[in-house]
Each structure stands twice: as structure tokens, then as C-alpha cells.
Chain A
Amino acid sequence: MHIAEGFLPPAQAAAWTAAAAPFVIHGVYSLTRAVRADPEAKLLLGASGAFCFVLSALKIPSVTGSSSHPTGVGLGAVLFRPPVMAALGTVTLLFQALLLAHGGLTTLGANVFSMAVVGPWAGYAAYRLVRALASRLPEQTSLGAGVFAAAFTASLSTYTITSLQLALAFPDAAGGVAGAFVKFATIFSITQIPLSVVEGLVTVVIVRLLSTVGRDQLLRLGVLRGRTADGDGGTGGADASDTAGRPQEPTIDRTPDGEATA
């Protein structure tokens, strides 16, 4: 759900840009550091960004006809980690605004905040939580459940934040911000809730296929664990220990370094 150009009052658009800025700057910092450490990461980041853009341009079937939708948010957070996703997501949103007319330039900050900051973090947190809870299950099951949770949560949290942004901009005459939030959330839920479910399912299919045909890439990105051939089982424990305190710095480094060494 992209807020169109000119929809938000200038002061609010500026405020959301300021709110998104630290996350994007952090993402850009980690991205430039990765590129400086290893020039090969540049091409892989380019490929990842193009992948995110094309995913977001796919038409997802829904009850109200097909609708294009920021599909990659949850998947991107799982594959590339939220800090890198903040940078890639910002670029994707800028390209969407200028190439597809999805979202605006003055509302870019608000869209970045919902789709490249809150969505990825919420999706990633849900993924980590489910992976930790399902650590006893076989890896395929735990991965599927985690990825579904990530995509569903990322999509829904994006939609909730967008509704909140709209409600803050246009409070209801009688019900105030809360009333306006209910109105916006209701009218957009018609498309967004079924879309989130379908997106979750599609993302599960993608990751299940990737865990067989793209196993090397997933290992490099740190989504799958253990380089032993047996695959199923035994890897959840490593996951569970990793969830404690979700450190940011090592995860940023791991993406490019892992890509580079393989």
C-alpha cells in the first residue's frame, strides 16, 4: 500500500522522512561498508535490489482482482536482514515511484518507514520467534512456518502503519485519530488481509524451492544453517541460540562476507 504523492500534508511527510532517516542511513552505512570491504558484494547487492523490485511488481491474486503489492518485504527481511533491507527497500520504493507510479516522492519517507523499516523489522522478529519456537521440528517445517510468519507479519504491519499514517494526517471529525484509523484500516483490510495470506503462501513456496535449488545462496545468506548434506533436523538449535539479543553488526557483516567467500 503506497501512499500517493501529495496525499500527506507537507509537515507530516517531513516528519515521517525524519523518522525513517536514521534507519536508512544505518542501512546505507552498512551497505557502503560491505561494498568497500568486498567489491563483489556490489553486484550481488545489485541483483538483490533488482530481485526486490521485480517481486514487488508481481501481481498477486486476490479477492478484488489482482493487485500489485510490495511482496518482497518479508522475504527480503529474511534473506538480507532488516538493516540492508532498509537501504534496498528505499531504492526499490524510489524506483517504484519513478518507474511504476507507485507511491510519491514527498511521501517517500512515509512509505519507507512503513515498508522498508517497520515491515522488515516486524517480519524478521516474527521469523526469529517462530524459528525459535519451532526449533524442535524438522528444518523444512520450521523454515516454512517462520517464512510464512515473516511475510504475513511484514505485510500486515506495513498496512497497519500506513493506516496509522493516514489517520494521523486526517483525523476523524468525531472519532479523532482512533476513529480515522478504524476507517482507513477497515477500507484497506478488504484487499490487504487476503493479500497478506496469499503473500505468505507464495513466500513459503519460494523459500521451499530455494532450499533445494538455491541451497548455496541460502547458506551464504545465513538463512539455512549447517553445511552438512543431511539438511533436515539438528539445525534448529543453532537458530534458537542465535535469537538471543539479535545483534545487528555481525548480521550485517555476514551477508556480504558470506556471499564473498562462497
Chain B
Amino acid sequence: MLTIDAEAYRSPWRTVHPAVKGVLFGGLLVCALALPAWPGAALVGTAALALGLGPARVPPRKLLRTALGPLAFIATGAVTLLVSVGGPDGLIAWDPQGAARAAELTGRASAAVVCQLLFAFTTPLADLLPRLSRAGLPPALVEVVALIYRMLFVALDTARRVGAAQAGRLGYANRRNRVRSLGALGAALFVRSYDRAARLQRGLECRGYTGELTVLVDEIPLRASALAAAAVPAVLVAAAALTLGAWT
């Protein structure tokens, strides 16, 4: 299983309505983007991490490992802001304002990534997807999306098994083999995915499939008070950032 999905199912906040978590982390995300990076991003990051690692009990090590990818992108992107090109000081020169811009960008984007990840770490997609049709998306699209989600884990498992078998036959021993093995993996995956879809279709038709896959969704009551409470951290962070910003 994928780390984020596995943790989302284990999360103590799984029983909280997705809209409430959306308001909580979405509000903080908006704060990170809209408020001045200092002190806005720092406050958002602190608040989100305090909520995520505290009551939501997201494992910090797994959160960090997952965040490494986007953080590496942010770092690479921010490095380019340190220099300027084509100016009067030569082809490549240090940009005097570059460090401040890079720090601002890193802070803002890192805080935003934390908010996004904490939402993902507490909300399984299976809880989120059925509710999308209520949000006004075409039902046919939502069903295809739900099907993709359900088929994805079988496909991932297939890819893992094929990969392990190839590695056992030295399929990844050198560069040439690696390209060939990856290609074979992709082809096998395609054929098996289609074959499985066709067999699934036949099986479903035998059970009276009319084009609709109905699944039980845990009914979680959505209370206005919970929504209002979820908005509190974002409001507090915004107020604190604006007052701190006014002082400095």
C-alpha cells in the first residue's frame, strides 16, 4: 500500500467529516499563500504541524519522508532565485535580494506542502471520492475516478511483483537491462490491466451490473459547529500574522 493511504486509514481523524478537515487544512493553506511569508508561513507551519502531529497523530518520520520529494523541488527552484543572469555584472551574478526571495518562497511553499500532506494523511481517498458527486461533478466521471482508485492498488501490486521477478533474473543489473525490464513491465501491466477489466466486466454483468457500482459510504454527520471550529486555527493564524506584521 501507499504510505499516505495506509496512514490515512489508520488516522484517528478518519471519522471526522472530510469537509471539516478540508476547512481546517484548506484554511491554513490559504493563510500560507495569502499572508506575508514572514510571519505567516511560520505560523501556518507551526499550527498545522501542532495539529497534525498532536491530535491527528500523524507519524512524523513518515510525514518527513513523504515531504522530501516536494521539498527537494522547492529547494531546487529556490536556488535559482539566488542568482540573476544577463545583468550588467556579467552572465551570472549573485542577486542581492535573491536570498530574501528564496527564503520567502521556501517558507511559504513548505508551509503549504505541510497543509496539503496533513490533509492527505488524515483523509482516505475512498472517503473523499463518493462525496465528489455531491459537489456537482458528473456522476460518470466520479465513477471512473473511483474505478481508477480501486484498480490502482491491484495495478501497483502487479507492477511490484513483475519488478521483483525481473530483479530476481538480474533484470535491473545494468542500464540496458533496466530499460528493457521497465518496458516489459509497462507492457505486461497494460495487458494485464485490460484483461482484468474485461474479466471484471464479465463478472459484474453476471451479477446484474447496469453501469452503476454502489458502495457503502460511512455516513458521517456534518455539523455546522465542527465546521466553525475547523475554521478557528486559520482565523487565529491570520489575526496573529497580521498583528505581528503590523508591529514589525
Contact = CB atoms under 8 A, between A and B. Distances in A.
Contacts of A42: 140, 143-144, 147, 211
Nearest to A220: B194
B9 to A, nearest CB: 12
Given A43-B201, A45-B147, A217 B191 contact: yes
Interface string A107-120: 00000000000000
Interface string B105-117: 1001111110111
Contact of B33 (A106, A201, A208): A106
Contacts of A32: 138, 140-141
Interface stretch (A94-102, A152-160, A240-248): A94-102
Contacts of A7: 73-74, 77, 105, 109, 112
Q: Output the residue of B33, B71, B128, B140 with the most chain A CB within 10 A.
A: B140
Interface string B172-198: 000100111011111111110110111
B61 to A, nearest CB: 15
Interface stretch (A130-138, A180-188, A228-236): A180-188
The main secondary structure of chain B at its interface with chain A is helix
A250 interface: no
Contacts of B209: 39
B183 to A, nearest CB: 2
Contact of A43 (B83, B95, B125, B197): B197
A88 B148 CA distance: 9
A183 B120 contact: no
B244 interface: no
B197 A46 contact: yes
A101 B113 contact: yes
B186 A206 contact: yes
Contacts of B178: 61
Interface in B143-168: 143-145, 147-152, 154-156, 158-159
Interface residues of A, number: 79
Contacts of B109: 4-7
A105 to B, nearest CB: 6
A4 B113 contact: yes
Contacts of A88: 148
B179 A202 contact: yes
B122 to A, nearest CB: 11
A2 B76 CA distance: 12
B201 A40 contact: yes
A4 B141 contact: no
Interface centre among B84, B105, B200 (most CB of A within 10 A): B84
Interface string B84-115: 11111100010101100100010011111101
Contacts of A6: 29, 32-33, 108-113, 116
A210 B188 CA distance: 8
29 contacts: A6-B108, A6-B109, A32-B141, A35-B211, A42-B140, A43-B147, A45-B148, A46-B197, A47-B155, A50-B152, A50-B154, A53-B152, A54-B158, A58-B186, A61-B175, A61-B182, A98-B4, A98-B125, A105-B116, A106-B112, A172-B86, A174-B88, A175-B84, A184-B77, A187-B80, A201-B183, A206-B190, A213-B191, A214-B191
Interface of A: 1-7, 9-10, 28, 31-32, 35-36, 39-40, 42-51, 53-55, 57-58, 60-61, 68, 71, 75, 87-88, 91-92, 95, 97-106, 166, 170, 172-175, 178-180, 182-184, 187-188, 198, 201-210, 213-214, 217
Shortest 4 CB-CB distances between A and B: which pairs?
Answer: A205-B183, A6-B112, A174-B87, A46-B147
